[in-house]
């Protein structure tokens, strides 16, 4: 296994600053780029990044780079690459290609040349078996300004698939976005966190795992295990290193939703995530949420939530009273609270009357979504 890797941690556009901070906390010296962050790492740090990054979707190992101006040249150079040092013979491979500003511009032909080289190296066709659970190695070939870069995904499934959210609700949020919302809220884990529209529980579960020091990748297969690059000793080092941020012993987290099925799913998801004891789930409408009753909330905390967008769940204009109720109830929490809302319609979110500022914007399920955060300015009583 190489002593050190050049890596690229990819994330949804807009999350790069949070991902950079996460990498700094892991001890890396990251360079922020569009769509992700580049960094160098030894094998344990490369594996730790797959285990601990909460806002990344992939970690790519950049394995080689060479000038290339023609498909014939690619075929020749690809045949000389040490594929058997990188990939396992029994693991199917998918090849993806992109090209920009290069004489080689036909991505389908690039994929075909690389697949030919793999077939020669392994003595079999490389195309992946079908089936949702099949482990597949992903090779990424990028042409930029006549330079070909070959990378391999360090994990066989995207990092946001943590493995606990086996049951969704109406419009489940991606785990990396829930993680990014909690990070943007600047939540201190020794204070409270409330999600009154918790659905399948993604936001409170990500918050609880952050608070208790549970790695986002804890339920996932060991990083790189599906590759010939896997190093069991490095994995043991990576796994036994302490969490990148201080953990608390007990978290104070409440979550509610008016949909009984969503709450049942959220409880089971939290069980799988190892945080069921840390979250108090209640089935109730926002107007009956226990901490949103006068004087019932802890003194300090964050209300972090993803209210209905009005697209996949009931229609936009009908949501105005719901957002106004949210704003009114949030102000009742008191000055020790902050709010973090994930919104599709920023104007609707502002109708909460809360002083919100955009922390990041990205796309989720084909929609632009913005994380809005702000301090609660309490209502006079």
Ligand X SMILES: C[S@@+](CC[C@H](N)C(=O)[O-])C[C@H]1O[C@@H](n2cnc3c(N)ncnc32)[C@H](O)[C@@H]1O
Q: If binding is defined by CB under 6 A, does position 349 make contact with ligand X? A: no
Q: In the set 203, 215, 254, 356, which binds ligand X (CB under 6 A)?
A: 203
Q: In the set 172, 216, 222, 327, which binds ligand X (CB under 6 A)?
A: 172
> Which one, 167 or 221, has the nearer CB to ligand X?
167
Give the count of residues interacting with ligand X (CB under 6 A).
21
Residues of span 308-337 touching ligand X by CB under 6 A: 308, 313, 322
Q: If binding is defined by CB under 6 A, does position 257 make contact with ligand X? A: yes
Q: In the set 23, 37, 53, 169, which binds ligand X (CB under 6 A)?
A: 169
Q: In the set 41, 63, 207, 262, which binds ligand X (CB under 6 A)?
A: 262
Nearest-approach distance from CB 107 to ligand X, in angstroms:
34
Residue nearest to ligand X (CB): 199
> Which one, 63 or 343, has the nearer CB to ligand X?
343
Q: If binding is defined by CB under 6 A, does position 173 make contact with ligand X? A: yes
Nearest-approach distance from CB 282 to ligand X, in angstroms:
10
> Which one, 253 or 286, has the nearer CB to ligand X?
286
Q: What is the 3-state secondary structure (H, E, C) of the chain?
A: CCCEEEEEEEECCCCHHHHHHHHHHCCCCCEEECCEEEEEEEHHHHHHHHHHCCCEEEEEEEEEEEECCCHHHHHHHHHCCCHHHHECCCCCEEEEEEEECCCCCCHHHHHHHHHHHHHHHHCCCCCCCCCCCCCCEEEEEEEECCEEEEEEECCCCCCCCCCCCCCCCCCCCCHHHHHHHHHHCCCCCCCEEEECCCCCCHHHHHHHHHHHCCCCCCCCCCCCCCECCCCHHHHHHHHHCCCCCCCCCCCEEEEEECCHHHHHHHHHHHHHHCCHHHEEEEECCHHHCHHHCCCCCCCCEEEEECCCCCCCCCCHHHHHHHHHHHHHHHHCCCCCEEEEEEECCHHHHHCCCCCCEEEEEEEECCEEEEEEEEECCCCCC
Q: If binding is defined by CB under 6 A, does position 258 make contact with ligand X? A: yes
Q: If binding is defined by CB under 6 A, does position 197 make contact with ligand X? A: yes
**Which positions from 264 to 303 touch ligand X by CB under 6 A, shown as an x/- string?**
---------------------xx-----------------
Q: If binding is defined by CB under 6 A, does position 114 make contact with ligand X? A: no
Nearest-approach distance from CB 165 to ligand X, in angstroms:
8
Binding residues for ligand X, rule: CB under 6 A, are 169-173, 197-200, 202-203, 257-259, 262, 285-286, 306, 308, 313, 322
């Amino acid at each position: 296994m190489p002593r050190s890797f050049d890596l690229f941690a990819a994330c949804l556009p807009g999350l790069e600053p949070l991902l950079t901070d996460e990498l700094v906390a892991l001890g890396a010296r990251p360079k922020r780029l569009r769509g992700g962050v580049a960094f160098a790492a030894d094998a344990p740090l490369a594996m730790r990044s797959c285990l601990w990054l909460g806002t990344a979707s992939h970690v790519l190992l950049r394995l080689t780079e060479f000038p290339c101006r023609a498909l014939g040249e690619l075929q020749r150079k690809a045949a000389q690459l040490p594929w058997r040092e990188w990939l396992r013979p029994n693991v199917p491979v998918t090849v993806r290609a992109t090209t920009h500003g290069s004489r080689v511009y036909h991505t389908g032909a690039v994929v075909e040349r690389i697949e030919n080289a793999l077939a020669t190296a392994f003595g079999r066709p490389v195309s992946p078996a079908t089936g949702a659970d099949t482990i597949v190695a992903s090779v990424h070939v990028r042409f930029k300004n006549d330079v070909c870069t070959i990378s391999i995904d360090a994990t066989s499934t995207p990092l946001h698939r943590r493995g606990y959210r086996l049951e969704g609700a109406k419009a489940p949020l991606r785990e990396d976005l829930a993680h990014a919302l909690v990070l943007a809220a600047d939540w201190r884990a020794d204070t409270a966190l409330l999600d009154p529209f918790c659905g399948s529980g993604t936001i409170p579960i990500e918050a609880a795992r952050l608070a208790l020091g549970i790695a986002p990748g804890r339920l996932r297969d060991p990083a790189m295990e599906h590759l010939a690059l896997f190093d069991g000793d490095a994995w043991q080092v990576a796994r036994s290193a302490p969490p990148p941020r201080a953990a608390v012993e007990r978290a104070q987290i409440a979550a509610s939703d008016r949909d009984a099925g969503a709450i049942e799913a959220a409880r089971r998801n939290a069980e799988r995530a190892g945080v069921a004891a840390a979250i108090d789930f209640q089935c109730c409408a926002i107007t009956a949420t226990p901490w949103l009753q006068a004087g019932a909330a802890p003194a300090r905390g964050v209300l972090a939530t993803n209210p209905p967008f009005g697209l996949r769940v009931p229609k936009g204009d009908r949501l105005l009273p719901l957002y106004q109720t949210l704003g009114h109830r949030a102000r009742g929490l008191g000055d020790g609270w902050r709010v973090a809302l994930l919104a599709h319609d920023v104007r609707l979110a502002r109708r909460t009357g809360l002083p919100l500022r955009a922390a990041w914007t990205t796309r989720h399920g084909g929609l632009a979504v913005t994380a809005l955060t702000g301090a609660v300015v309490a209502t006079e009583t």
